[in-house]
Chains A and B, each alone.
Chain A
């Protein structure tokens, strides 16, 4: 029997969140290939368990939490298979990303997700400033744009990041698991 779930909406959901989740999973797995695999599992379990999810959870938060848990499971399994693997990794991430002290981890994932979604040039400029510590002038020279453009793009990036964080914290316009379930099963 054909499934009653809406594959187009599921695809939209996947395309919207997969890049951010892969990058997030990679902070645990330290291997993009494994990270992509973990995210596959996350979406398969969403598809399979749509009706059993905790309906009032925020969708974004649900996906990130599921990705974190699946990543940790993945690492634990891997550790069983190869006893020599660095055992520290799991421990350390457990302590920085556990449920109670989750705000730092969640904040990281929200920022992560939004940085991934910045327009390409804007993202590139933001990363050169933040992660490579280059000055406006150095970025301008490297990308062959004016320093003013660099400043403006940084301003845009910061506005978008702040908005993403505010929206997340203020529970504004968020999409819950219940709403996703409704969409995926209604059709």
Chain B
């Protein structure tokens, strides 16, 4: 159970919206670990505290800042740092030094993530939505539906490290002295500046990295590593731990960014999972669909049309009820 699912389960308890099955699931979770009652208690406390907040107040931040800005520009600090008279000739050097120091300070603020001034760097794309993100180093990330990205160590160290759960397309800002690393469900991608796609859904049997531009290292250790060039895809099989490489259609790999669903030899189980994330529904598989692979591209089709196609191709019964896709053999 993910933290997200757990919190929903707890929320159902707190609001009395749990089904009998969910009640059982909750009880089982509560007693399965000594730390769990504490977790629940904390959530209950947060929930109770949130009840009385008056959240309707308008802060009018822009107008207020204008007011404050005017006021403080006429105020001298009570005790001010000693002022030095600067000759014009050295002014440019000081300006350059100040720019460097400001850069360091911003890096430091960003590097501290939760420090307060800057948003913590956790990103999530909701079901059915693609999020476009710019990281502090200028790297662009398209985050596919139902995926999360976390910037680890806030980019403060010797490298730029992110953790991906789900799928994302990276356009990494080149920086030779600070490699960019993606931790993806057990495998790691290392680049200095390039474009590539990573698919690492927690429920999937494999993690893949596909390269559109530049050179990419895909590895679990120094001994278990492949070098990927444009048009290649590295595949990490979670069960065997093996990493292999193959040629793929580079355009197809990132077609999801245009809202297309491209399945190029993808196990049907995983394809259904991706469909679920794309359309914001959960998937329940009751039939046996092991060993079935999907080769299909969907562009403007509705969910109903896609399901119809799959039903006919694989001789399945696919029905959607209460936001759940039920998969049965015919």
| A contacts, CB < 8 Å to B | 1, 3-5, 7, 9-19, 22-23, 26-27, 32, 35-36, 39-40, 43-44, 47-52, 59-60, 104, 107-108, 111-112, 115-117, 123, 126-127, 129-131, 133, 135-136, 146-149, 151-156, 158-159, 161-163, 165, 167, 172-175, 179, 183, 185-187
Interchain CA distance A124-B192 in the complex, whole Å:
40
Which residue from B46, B101, B120 sits with its C-beta under 8 Å from A161? B46
**Residues of B with C-beta under 8 A to A129:** 11, 15
Interchain CA distance A146-B17 in the complex, whole Å:
16
Asked whether A14 lies within 8 Å of B323 as measured between CB atoms, the reply is no
Asked whether B115 lies within 8 Å of A23 as measured between CB atoms, the reply is no
* Chain B 201-257 interface residues, beta-carbon cutoff 8 Å to A: none
- Pick from B52-60, B134-142, B162-170 the stretch touching chain A: B52-60
25 contacts between A and B (CB under 8 A): A4-B77, A7-B73, A9-B105, A19-B61, A32-B57, A40-B64, A44-B71, A47-B72, A47-B75, A48-B78, A59-B116, A108-B52, A108-B53, A115-B55, A136-B17, A147-B322, A148-B127, A152-B4, A152-B8, A154-B8, A156-B124, A161-B50, A162-B46, A173-B114, A175-B112
Asked whether B15 lies within 8 Å of A135 as measured between CB atoms, the reply is yes
Asked whether A111 lies within 8 Å of B42 as measured between CB atoms, the reply is no
**Residues of A with C-beta under 8 A to B45:** 107
Main secondary structure of the interface of A (DSSP, over half): helix
Asked whether A130 lies within 8 Å of B50 as measured between CB atoms, the reply is yes
Asked whether B46 lies within 8 Å of A111 as measured between CB atoms, the reply is yes
> Contacts A22-B59, A158-B7 given: A43-B80 contact, CB under 8 Å?
no
Interchain CA distance A39-B64 in the complex, whole Å:
9
Asked whether A162 lies within 8 Å of B42 as measured between CB atoms, the reply is yes
**Residues of B with C-beta under 8 A to A115:** 50, 53, 55
Q: Which of B42, B71, B72 has the most CB of A within 10 A?
A: B72
The count of chain B contact residues (Cβ–Cβ below 8 Å) is: 64
> B27 at interface (Cβ–Cβ under 8 A)?
no
Asked whether A131 lies within 8 Å of B51 as measured between CB atoms, the reply is yes
> B32 at interface (Cβ–Cβ under 8 A)?
no
Interchain CA distance A81-B122 in the complex, whole Å:
48
Q: How far is the CB of B152 from chain A (nearest CB, A)?
A: 13
Which residue from A19, A32, A148, A183 sits with its C-beta under 8 Å from B280? A148
Which residue from A47, A52, A59, A187 sits with its C-beta under 8 Å from B98? A187
Interchain CA distance A15-B60 in the complex, whole Å:
10
**Residues of B with C-beta under 8 A to A32:** 57-58
Q: How far is the CB of B294 from chain A (nearest CB, A)?
A: 23
Interchain CA distance A34-B218 in the complex, whole Å:
57
* Chain B 81-119 interface residues, beta-carbon cutoff 8 Å to A: 81, 83, 98, 101-102, 105, 109, 112-119
> Contacts A52-B78, A158-B7, A158-B10 given: A148-B282 contact, CB under 8 Å?
yes
Q: Across chains A and B, which 4 residue pairs bring their CB atoms closest together, nearest first?
A: A19-B59, A173-B114, A158-B7, A148-B323
Which residue from B7, B47, B115 sits with its C-beta under 8 Å from A159? B7
Which residue from A59, A156, A172 sits with its C-beta under 8 Å from B4? A156
Asked whether B117 lies within 8 Å of A4 as measured between CB atoms, the reply is no
> B43 at interface (Cβ–Cβ under 8 A)?
yes
Interchain CA distance A136-B46 in the complex, whole Å:
19
A135 (CB) vs chain B CBs: closest residue: B17
B146 (CB) vs chain A CBs: closest residue: A152
Q: Which of A10, A40, A115, A156 has the most CB of B within 10 A?
A: A156
Interchain CA distance A95-B79 in the complex, whole Å:
35
**Residues of B with C-beta under 8 A to A165:** 42, 46
